[in-house]
Amino acid sequence: MMPTSKAFLILTPCRTGTRDRCRRTLHLNCLTENLICASGRLDSLNKAHQNHARIVAVPLSTMLGFTSILLLLGTSRLVFAADIKDSLDSLGIVASFPGDVTYTSASSPFNLRFSVQPAAITYPKTVNDISEILKVGAAENVSVVARSGGHSYIANGLGGRNGALVVDLSNMTNVSIDSAKGIALIETGNRLGDIAVALGDAGRGLPHGSSSGGFGFTSRMWGLTLDTIDAANVVLANGTIARALRGSASSFAIVTSIEVRTFPAPPTGTIFQYSWDGLNTTTAAQIIATIQRFVQVHDIPPHLGGEINLFRGAVRGTISISFAGGWYAHIEKLNATVNPLLRQLPTTSRTSFFTGTYLETAENLAGGSLDTKSAPDGHDTFYAKSLLTPESSPMSDAAILAYTTYLANEGFSAEVGWFIQMELYGGKNSAINAVSPDATAFAHRRSIFSIQFYSSAPNNVPPYPQSGFTFLDGLVESIISNSPQDWNYG
């Protein structure tokens, strides 16, 4: 029992609907966005206020000075976490809180350059659970964020900053397919490997990345994943369960499942790679410029998807390049499509081809297995950037040479590991560019390449060195500074 004759500081989370009432009656002040406080005599509070405010009370003498305020903020957060825990427990929703043995791995982002401490990570099993979690978040005035694959580059699946209530969707893994209509309903906790297997078993396919994301080698043929979405089932911030159309502002709602249009899986596919090693900067630049020109001029079929990969050379002044991709038709036709390009390029150092069923090609791209359950989630410590090259203003020869020269020199001595993927979005017959720029949230429908610049800390573990930022920023700048001033690179 707290003595009622002394002065007290009252510090409590602001609660929906109570904050203004408290303020009017008790002249409370907001200390931070989430906390209200007042000083006074506890015996001046009536019972109702004591109950609804869940007061943290300490002797007034301790509230003078900055240190004590910080202490109190910490105390209040404990009360706040306890409130969330009580609410989730009563709903039967599993959650991991700071201090729990599961918390460290549950709150570990894919990119270890970031360290984020969520208020809790919740594991709903149903749409209704998600609705209840959002209501708890609203009642406690805490940010709620969804985590699906967890591959955000900046830990946004954990809220991107401390204190979020994370809705981990890993238990939401239903996939149902209406084979007659080719429509699939996919819950958003599914991993791409599981989706590929479920659809592949039904003779269907969907465009997506090899380990993550909406772009993959089938995208010139089928588009980006987002282009296949007819509707999204969502839970709004206030807990309302709704069906929404494609496209929204960020954090509009938590998507619990998507309704997608699937495609008949092609009977056969080939994953290919043409590699050139030990290239000097001029030859490397010529290869890139030749491929860029080829995809713009030739009538390449949509069945060809690909990317140009750039890697560190074995000696200073050199780099390695590969043109890798997927071909989703008979292999004979691959030769007919690619040979006119290869005839313009130096003799390859190596080539590799894998031909199989559509599902086998997906497995090959995933490193040999689509099994998402037996291996633990990986991590990296990385810094990445991207830019899109407009079809109307392709990379200039000067920009390409500056880029290969930078990689062959600064790239050779860089402290960080790196790779670059120039993903082929455009060229004739690309389903990505067949969509109008204003039809979806992705507006860059007139691009040739989407270039991913990616660099990892030594051994992929923290700390990520400062020199890595300088290297990668300089690399992107080598292209931009050799391009028109109004170059629209996304």
Ligand X SMILES: Cc1cc2nc3c(=O)[nH]c(=O)nc-3n(C[C@H](O)[C@H](O)[C@H](O)COP(=O)(O)OP(=O)(O)OC[C@H]3O[C@@H](n4cnc5c(N)ncnc54)[C@H](O)[C@@H]3O)c2cc1C
Chain residues binding ligand X by CB under 6 A are 110, 145-153, 156-157, 169, 188, 209-216, 254-255
* Smallest distance from ligand X to CB 465, Å: 20
CB proximity list for 476: less than 8 A, separation 6 or greater: 385, 387, 453
> What distance in Å separates the CA atoms of residue 228 and residue 182, rounded to the nearest whole number?
11
The position carrying tokens 């966005």 is 33
Give the angle 330-325-278 at the CA atoms, nearest 5°. 125
* Smallest distance from ligand X to CB 107, Å: 13
> What distance in Å separates the CA atoms of residue 260 and residue 225, rounded to the nearest whole number?
8
* Smallest distance from ligand X to CB 486, Å: 27
Q: b/e map of 219-238 (b: 16 or more CB within 10 Å)?
A: bbbbbbbbbbbeebbbbeee
Residue 50 vs 386, nearer CB to ligand X: 386
Nearest residue relative to ligand X (C-beta): 213
* Smallest distance from ligand X to CB 60, Å: 42
218 within 8 A of 207, measured Cβ to Cβ: yes
* Smallest distance from ligand X to CB 216, Å: 6
- Backbone φ and ψ for 244, nearest 5 degrees, come out as -120, 160
Residue 121 vs 291, nearer CB to ligand X: 121
Residue 12 vs 156, nearer CB to ligand X: 156
Nearest to 330 by CA among 268, 264, 274: 268
Residue 191 vs 204, nearer CB to ligand X: 191
* Smallest distance from ligand X to CB 152, Å: 3
Helical segments of 366-421, H only: 397-413
CB proximity list for 349: less than 8 A, separation 6 or greater: 275, 276, 277, 278, 320
Residue 110 vs 471, nearer CB to ligand X: 110
> What distance in Å separates the CA atoms of residue 136 and residue 52, rounded to the nearest whole number?
16
Residue 80 vs 215, nearer CB to ligand X: 215
* Smallest distance from ligand X to CB 217, Å: 9
Residue 49 vs 208, nearer CB to ligand X: 208
